[in-house]
A and B are shown apart, each in its own frame.
Chain A
Amino acid sequence: MDILVQQIVSGLATGGIYGSVALALVMIYEATDIVNFAQGQMAVVSTYLAWSLLNAGMPYWAAFAATLLISFVGGVLLERTVIRPVEGAPVLTQVIVCIGLLVIFNSALGWIYSYVQKPFPSPFPERPLKVGNIYFGAHDIGALGITILVLIALYAFFRFTTLGLAMRAAAQNPVSSRLCGIRVGWMLAIGWGLASLIGAVAGLMVAPIVTLDPNMMAGILIYAFASATLGGFTSPGGAVLGGLIVGVVENLVGTYVRFIGTELKLTVALAVILIVLLVRPSGLFGRAAVHRV
């Protein structure tokens, strides 16, 4: 029983990270209909940035804030410079541009920082928390808490600010929004900035667990993609919940089903998702696409 609870909590912690990246994917998808394959790699870039800042002697939370700020600006610039020229091109063309970004970032990081794994500090104490008979990793709890904070902040931003409203409008109906005076192009850019910021948080939270290297996010992007699909690509809340479900399922399957172990647990997690999708083809919380005939 204790092991079960422990596994669920650590599953929720990794799930929160999957959920954050999934959320970033969904934000860009909602606004532009493209899946940003470079999302995970952008997060790795942010994490390396933080690593450099920390190595230069900056205190953790200052480096944290600086990284988020730079990631946001970087995301905005990326949309303005790299994505904008293909805005009108077919969706697959845009996806290929994202793949291009992915390989560029990956290779450039390997070149600058080498592919050697680097330890990354956690802002939380090393000593595990003890509740009853159960030990929780402080970093697990902290990461989960930060993910939840980011979510609440985002929700508040989209729900209560004019800018958030304008961004939602631009995503839903670009033409009408433009007629209302919303600068749709800039809303897109800000969307990229926010997605990049969320990715940065996820990167900073996951790096202490998996150690930092240029391929750190490859596996996580897959889980995030699965989470977003499970929750429904049209539902931000669903994406996060999907992430939590994937994290927990993955952990439980890895622990309790012997012959699966760690090698096949990704496959099993995906199989579970597929079964869900066959029953609910638009994900758990997604809208079914309605086509005009």
Chain B
Amino acid sequence: MPTRGLRAALMLIVLAAAATLPFVLSNFRLFQCAQVFIYAIALLGVNILIGFNGQFSLGHSAFYALGAYTSAIMIDRWSVPYGWTIPAAGVLCLVAGFLFGIPALRLEGLYLALATFALALAVPQILKYFEHWTGGSQGIVLSKPEAPAGLKLSADQWLYFLTLVVLLVLFLLARNLLAGRTGRAIVAIRDNPIAAQAMGVNTALYKSLTFGVSAAYTGIAGALSALVIAFVAPDAFDVFLSITFVTGIVIGGLASISGAIFGALFIQFVPNWAQDISKAAPWAIYGVFLIGFMYVMPYGIVGAMRLAARRFWRRAAEPSAAAARSRG
């Protein structure tokens, strides 16, 4: 198995690459990268709930919308500096997710899926209903935040760094949350709720809390997307966004943190490639990609990488073991 040092070195290389990209790529590419980071945050939130905790949700587009609209309304109506709207969206979604998680405790599997599905369906219509706040189906147009005065960065470069930093902080938090006592409780509930309860895990509390945390991640992603796209409208937050999230985590790898990045890359870029390949039926190409990926990597990209790594290290270990045997 790779050592800690090797892993840290890899991380550093990736980080260094991420830090130099904004000075190489065009503004449009940077915008796409920021989108990837935002999707990765949302996917991580969804993965915490579905992958780690085993609660199925088709409703995370609702929390994404809640975050986006929180940010947009605070900036547009109350002129709050945009930096404050991100944590505000997170806290609001945490509370909303926690509260939604309480009735959801009674439901399992498909029934939970339907409950969350209903939430996702209701959101665009509710947003249109409260026109006074949300601007109805016209949505709210924002201006793209400029870089702080001291920094010589374009708006897109600045947003790239902003989303990257938020992504890194949230990934670190998620890693710490999931690696410790709490994370073990969350996974134990997925694997065997009754045994977890017998071990003294407060399943009801943990499940609702996980729902809250997951919603908070998605909400923060939503708030960032409002900043990056500089526009929110109800129809962007329909059920298909939720389905895209679920697709993303399955492609990336269930119950893996880094899977969120791969999933985000997939859902951001593959539809574009499909468009390049066939203008006539892009979604057919996308569907073929989707099915192809699932055939080749039924456990997602991270699952396939883990398998490959295990094979590689075993092969690497074998010659030395053979040598040891022959010497012995």
Contact = CB atoms under 8 A, between A and B. Distances in A.
A79 to B, nearest CB: 14
A101 interface: yes
Interface string A68-108: 00000000000000100110011011011101111110111
Contacts of B284: 103-104, 107-108, 111
A85 B295 contact: yes
B110 interface: yes
Interface stretch (B17-25, B81-89, B118-126, B170-178): B118-126
Nearest to B123: A267
B286 to A, nearest CB: 6
**Listed residue (A103, A229, A283) with the most chain B CB atoms within 10 angstroms of its CB:** A103
B117 interface: yes
Contacts of B281: 107-108, 110-111
B250 A93 contact: yes
B108 A289 contact: yes
Interface stretch (A57-65, A160-168, A273-281): A273-281
Interface in A252-281: 263-264, 266-267, 270-271, 273-274, 277-278, 281
A35 B110 contact: yes
A291 interface: yes
Contacts of A18: none
Given A96-B251, A103-B290, A291 B125 contact: no
Contact of A226 (B114, B122, B247, B289): B114
A174 B285 CA distance: 35
B125 A111 contact: no
B155 interface: no
Interface in B78-117: 103, 106-111, 113-115, 117
B5 to A, nearest CB: 33
Contact of A103 (B109, B122, B283): B283
Nearest to A89: B298
A192 interface: no
A233 interface: yes
B290 A264 contact: no
Contact of B287 (A101, A270, A277): A101
Interface in B117-170: 117-118, 121-122, 125-126, 128-129
B307 interface: no
A267 B283 contact: no
Contacts of A274: 114-115, 118
Contact of B291 (A100, A226, A281): A100
A277 B111 contact: yes
Contact of A86 (B128, B285, B295): B295
Contacts of B264: none
A142 to B, nearest CB: 30
A95 B243 CA distance: 10
B105 to A, nearest CB: 10
A278 B287 contact: no
B129 A222 contact: no
A287 B171 CA distance: 40
A202 B243 CA distance: 24
A120 interface: no
Contacts of A92: 50, 246, 250, 254
A271 B254 contact: no
Contacts of B115: 274, 277
A282 interface: yes
B288 interface: yes
Nearest to A267: B122
Contacts of A89: 294, 298-299
Nearest to A264: B125
A102 B287 contact: yes
Nearest to B248: A96
A282 B111 contact: yes
Contacts of B126: 267
Nearest to A269: B118
A225 B114 contact: yes
A268 to B, nearest CB: 9
B194 interface: yes
Q: Which 4 A-B pairs have the closest CB atoms?
A: A104-B287, A107-B283, A100-B290, A89-B298
Interface of B: 50, 103, 106-111, 113-115, 117-118, 121-122, 125-126, 128-129, 192, 194-195, 239, 243, 246-247, 250-251, 254, 280-291, 294-295, 298-299
Interface of A: 29, 35, 82, 85-86, 89-90, 92-93, 95-97, 99-104, 106-108, 110-111, 222, 225-226, 229, 233, 263-264, 266-267, 270-271, 273-274, 277-278, 281-283, 289, 291, 293
